[in-house]
Amino acid sequence: MAPKSGYRRGYAVAVLVGLEERAAVLWKVYSKVVKPETTLRLEGNRNNSKAVYNFHEAIVNVFRPTLKEGVRTVVLASPQRTFYTREFIEHVNRHHAWLTQGANKVTFAEITESASTFPQVTALTRKHVFQKLIQDTTSEETMGLLDLLESRLSGSQGDKAVLYSLDDVEDAVLGSQRRGFSPEHLLLTEKYLKTSRQKGRLNRLMQISANKKIKTRVVDAESPAGKRLTQLGGIVCLMRAQ
């Protein structure tokens, strides 16, 4: 079973990167709280292209594991009249096309605020503009998951590529492979997670999925993807052919 503290923080929805002149502070945004990840320092100055390159690479390397967990939203925050966000986006476009292209692309959102200290982040996350930003970007993200779900359902092996029941999903995740397929995405609605009588099993399933690098996503039940998941029972596992 997942730790109770993990349940209280909710599920991960985004990475928040507070960009400053000589530092970047990374946070993981959950549905209920925000937790600090790490602080990175620029080793050199902004005029040193190699130092800036290494700095940006370090940022990508820090949030890369979170993206592998299934989170596809990165919010970049920087103070007014600065170019730090633009520089980072240019670096991503030039050196990490995999982040901006394809079915699993990341949605980058920008906000003009400081997000380097806990009081700043606390104030930021309470603002309507930030909450709306998260809602809009995660909605875009879940539409991509919905497209992926529908393509798997309409494929010739839809009965093997998509699992609907908790028993089948649990069997696939614990066994890692099922009829030549292995779990790729675990999707469930927030309502299913909250109202299920099998919360212990679900928490354990999500923890094991995270440990096995299966992309896990909790979706708003009222979103288009959430409504489709609800039609399918509230939980779905997308399988990948081996």
Q: How does residue 5 score in pLDDT terms, banded at 50, 70 and 90?
A: very low
pLDDT at 6: 43
Give all strands (DSSP E) within the chain, no chain letters.
Answer: 12-19, 23-30, 34-41, 73-78, 107-112, 162-163, 181-189, 215-219, 235-241
The CATH 3.30.1330.30 domain(s) of the chain lie at 145-241
pLDDT at 13: 85
C-alpha 211/C-alpha 131 separation (Å) is 29
The CATH 3.30.420.60 domain(s) of the chain lie at 4-126
Give the residue-averaged pLDDT of 142-169.
Answer: 80
Q: Map tokens 């991509």 to a residue.
A: 144
Q: Per the CATH hierarchy, to which homologous superfamily does domain 4-126 belong? A: eRF1 domain 2 (3.30.420.60)
- Tell me the whole-structure pTM to 2 decimals: 0.74
**Over the chain, what is the mean pLDDT?**
86
Which tokens in the block code for residue 142? Answer: 């879940």
Of 131 and 4, the one with more pLDDT: 131
Give the residue-averaged pLDDT of 93-122.
Answer: 91
Give the residue-averaged pLDDT of 8-32.
Answer: 88
Look up the CATH number of domain 145-241: 3.30.1330.30
